[in-house]
Amino acid sequence: MTVYLLHLSQPLNRGVARNGKPLQAGHYLGFTDDLVGRILDHQEGKGARFTQVCLERGIRWSLARVWEGDQADRTFERKLKNSKHGPRLCPICNPENALEQMKLECVQ
């Protein structure tokens, strides 16, 4: 099982919040049993609607991080998504903090 983080080349505008603030996303977290196949699906516009919209709008993305093994299940993916800390987990956005996070995961 694999949980993965995609980093977008630019934020994806997703509308406007009730307070008038624009809603943007710069990362996508996903779960799969076949990482290579799932990445190919995303590249071809057959993956999640989120990555389809990125493709339609010309927003590029890159695979930023991967979690594998027994811990990398749907529960773990949901925990990461609910934390709303994509940039904090992303080694492209935050290389120092991401390195510390990886060290902590190795110890646990």
Task: For residues 3 and 87, give the distance between their C-alpha atoms in angstroms, rounded to a whole number.
Answer: 16
Residuewise pLDDT in 10s, the chain (108 residues): 999 999 999 988 888 889 988 888 899 999 999 999 999 999 999 989 999 999 999 999 999 999 998 888 999 999 998 988 888 889 998 887 755 655 545 444
The boundaries of the domain holding residue 80 are 2-107
Long-range pairs, 40-45, Cβ under 8 A, ≥24: 42/6
DSSP bridge partners of 4: 30, 66
Instruction: Specify the number of domains making up the chain.
Output: 1
Residue 107 has a pLDDT of 43
Backbone φ and ψ for 22, nearest 5 degrees, come out as: -65, 140
Enter the pTM of the model.
Answer: 0.83
Q: Are 50 and 26 in contact (CB under 8 A)?
A: no
Q: How far separated are the first and last CA of the chain, in Å rounded?
A: 18
